[in-house]
């Protein structure tokens, strides 16, 4: 049986409340199908508009087999292009980030304007029509400081994401931030294991001593039941909303993205060992109260985020192979905050550097054990792992819907 029919059958008959069958976590063909159905077709978080502070600033990213460049144009619009020259296909931008008046291919110097148009092509003859050889565009949207792209020819509608998430982001002024630090770690585990681990705090108490000083392990904070029944959370929302900060739990109908502002433990302001702010200059003057907790934003399959009063942390999940995933973390502070004066970089980054490393080890041990021929799907905790079940439900529905609509198109 071909791989598509196999995956479809396994997902349709999967045992709910249990982890997936082994090949979903380790098999390269299943991985390729994940990439085709999800990463090559849906909206992906890439980075922040503050990383492209002026015209010509760009960064590059590799999504599976696609190299992409994201660049700010002369008109200030942020655009994304396939980073593959229209001459003989070389990568045009080779650095992780940079700034350039035009994008020049290093091979034979075909030169592209920042809007992708081919401006010069040496020795191609007078009758060469440059208009047919611009860089191929990739769908690109940005709002609230976040840049998303979609590699598909026809992108799904992005408006629902913008409509739901933008009001939560706007008060935090993340376009006026800067990246104080970023790290990329490679976790030797399937991208779905990275997400499953992120979607529960069942493992927190035993594994995250630093994070547990400030982040509550209560399932109402991390899970998907909304948290409204928890009086502390409901009180937190009321206080924050009265100060103009949208806070309630919201989730898209298909479960792909959600937002909620959650309280931290006791009087904690930030993810530091003391719980005190790590940055003296707050992110936004529109946030007029303290103890706003953490604004959580999730968008499958690429990002989870924590937006606090003094800084924000974004996470980007990019699969490299069936058994390797790159997780990029960025710490954002106000653009005028000065390192060594307004914040100490080690203090700012300590808790999540440790937490990320602890999660990396967890994911790697999980992958190790799943490779065993003795592995079989195991049951999730109803109390603590509702978020994991929700992630798998989204994954399963998403795959089944797309596999079935592809099948329908072929028949």
Residue numbers at the binding site for ligand 3BY (CB under 6 A): 198, 201, 204, 211, 222, 304, 355
**Binding range to Fe ion, per CB under 5 A, among 120-128, 151-159, 358-366, 396-404:** 358-366
Here the tokens at position 68 are: 């992409």
Buried b (16+ CB within 10 A) or exposed e, 57-81: bbbbbebbebbbbbbbeeeeebbbb
Q: Quick check: 233 and 296 in contact, CB under 8 A?
A: no
Range list of β-strands (E), 300-393:
303-307, 312-321, 324-334
Classify burial at 411, counting beta carbons within 10 Å of its beta carbon; exposed 0-12, middle 13-18, buried 19 or more: exposed
**Residue 362 beta carbon to ligand 3BY: minimum distance, rounded to whole angstroms:** 10
> Which residue, among 306, 301, 257, has the nearest Cα to 278 in the 3D structure?
306
Which listed residue (21, 51, 310, 359) binds Fe ion by CB under 5 A?
A: 359
Closest separation in Å from C-beta 387 to ligand 3BY: 8
CB of residue 172 to ligand 3BY, shortest distance in Å: 17
CB-wise, 142 or 198, nearer to ligand 3BY?
A: 198
Q: Do residues 93 and 106 touch, judged by C-beta distance below 8 A?
A: no
* Residue 4: exposure state from Cβ atoms within 10 A (0-12, 13-18, ≥19): middle
Burial class (CB in 10 A: 0-12, 13-18, 19+), 316: buried
Cα–Cα distance measured from residue 62 to residue 65, given in angstroms and rounded to the nearest whole number? 7
Among ligand 3BY, ligand FES, Fe ion, none, the one that 222 touches (CB under a kind-dependent 5 to 8 A) is ligand 3BY
DSSP one-letter code for 1 = -
Given a contact cutoff of 8 angstroms between Cβ atoms, the answer to whether 318 and 149 are in contact is no
87 binds, among ligand 3BY, Fe ion, ligand FES, none (CB under 5 to 8 A by kind): ligand FES
Closest distance of CB 59 from ligand FES, Å: 20
112 touches 119 (CB < 8 A): yes
Residue among 24 and 315 whose Cβ is closer to ligand 3BY: 315
- CB neighbour list of residue 89: distance below 8 Å, 6 or more residues apart: none
- Residue 201 binds which entry of Fe ion, ligand FES, ligand 3BY, none, CB below 5-8 Å type-dependent: ligand 3BY
Does 88 sit near ligand FES (CB under 6 A)?
Answer: yes
Q: 262 or 370, CB closer to ligand 3BY?
A: 262
Helix, strand or coil for residue 325? strand
How far apart are alpha carbons 138 and 344 in whole angstroms?
Answer: 38
Q: C-beta of 359: minimal distance to Fe ion in Å?
A: 4
How far apart are CB 149 and ligand FES at their closest, in Å? 22
Residue 85 makes contact with ligand FES by CB under 6 A: yes
Q: Which is nearer to ligand 3BY, 116 or 219 (CB)?
A: 219
Number of residues that bind Fe ion (CB under 5 A): 1
Counts for the chain of helices (H) and strands (E), in that order: 10, 17
Residue whose CB is less far from ligand FES, 106 or 235: 106
Contacting range for Fe ion; rule: CB under 5 A; set: 1-9, 96-104, 115-123, 356-364: 356-364
Taking the least distance from each CB to ligand 3BY, the nearer of 222 and 323 is 222
Task: Choose the one of Fe ion, ligand FES, ligand 3BY, none that binds residue 371, judging by a C-beta under 5 to 8 angstroms depending on kind.
Answer: none
Within 13 A of 199's CA, how many CA atoms are on the CB side? Answer: 31
Cβ nearer to Fe ion, comparing 342 with 359:
359
Site string for ligand FES, 98-127 (x = CB under 6 A): -------x-xxxx-----------------
Q: Does 128 bind ligand FES (CB under 6 A)?
A: no
Provide the binding-site residues for ligand FES, judged by CB under 6 A.
85, 87-90, 105, 107-110
Provide the binding-site residues for Fe ion, judged by CB under 5 A.
359
């Amino acid at each position: 049986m071909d791989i598509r029919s196999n995956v479809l059958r396994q997902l349709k008959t999967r045992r709910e409340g249990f982890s997936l069958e082994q090949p979903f976590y380790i098999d390269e063909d299943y991985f390729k199908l994940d990439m085709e159905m999800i990463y090559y077709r849906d909206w992906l978080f890439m980075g922040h508009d503050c990383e492209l502070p002026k015209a010509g600033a760009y960064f590059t990213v590799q999504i599976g087999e696609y190299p992409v460049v994201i660049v700010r144009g002369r008109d200030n619009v942020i655009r994304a292009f396939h980073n593959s020259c229209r001459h003989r296909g070389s990568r045009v931008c080779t650095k992780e980030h940079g700034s350039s008046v035009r994008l020049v291919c290093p091979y034979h110097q075909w030169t592209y304007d920042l809007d992708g148009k081919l401006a010069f092509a040496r020795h191609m003859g007078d009758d060469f029509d440059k208009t047919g050889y611009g860089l191929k565009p990739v769908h690109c949207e940005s709002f609230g400081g976040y840049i998303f792209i979609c590699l598909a020819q026809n992108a799904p509608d992005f408006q629902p994401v913008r409509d739901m998430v933008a009001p939560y982001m706007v008060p935090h002024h993340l376009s006026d931030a800067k990246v104080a630090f970023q790290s990329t770690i490679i976790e030797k585990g399937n991208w779905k294991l990275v997400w499953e681990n992120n979607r529960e705090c069942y493992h927190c108490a035993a594994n995250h001593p630093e994070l547990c000083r400030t982040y509550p392990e209560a399932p109402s904070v991390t899970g998907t039941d909304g948290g409204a029944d928890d009086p502390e959370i409901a009180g937190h929302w009321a206080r924050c909303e009265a100060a103009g900060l949208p806070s309630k739990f919201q989730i898209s109908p298909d479960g792909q993205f959600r937002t909620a502002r959650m309280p931290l433990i006791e009087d904690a302001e930030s993810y530091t060992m003391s719980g005190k702010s790590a940055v003296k200059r707050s992110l936004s003057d529109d946030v007029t109260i303290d103890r706003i907790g953490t604004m959580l934003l999730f968008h499958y399959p690429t990002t989870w985020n924590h937006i606090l009063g003094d800084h924000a942390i974004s996470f980007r999940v990019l699969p490299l192979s069936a058994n390797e995933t790159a997780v990029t973390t960025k710490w954002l502070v106000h653009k005028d905050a000065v390192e060594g004066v307004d914040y100490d970089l080690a203090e700012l980054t300590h808790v999540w550097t440790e937490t990320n490393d602890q999660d990396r080890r967890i994911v790697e041990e999980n992958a190790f054990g799943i490779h065993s021929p003795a592995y079989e799907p195991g049951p999730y905790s109803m109390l603590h792992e509702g978020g994991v079940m929700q992630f798998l439900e989204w994954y399963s529905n998403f795959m089944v819907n797309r596999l079935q609509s592809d099948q329908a198109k072929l028949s």
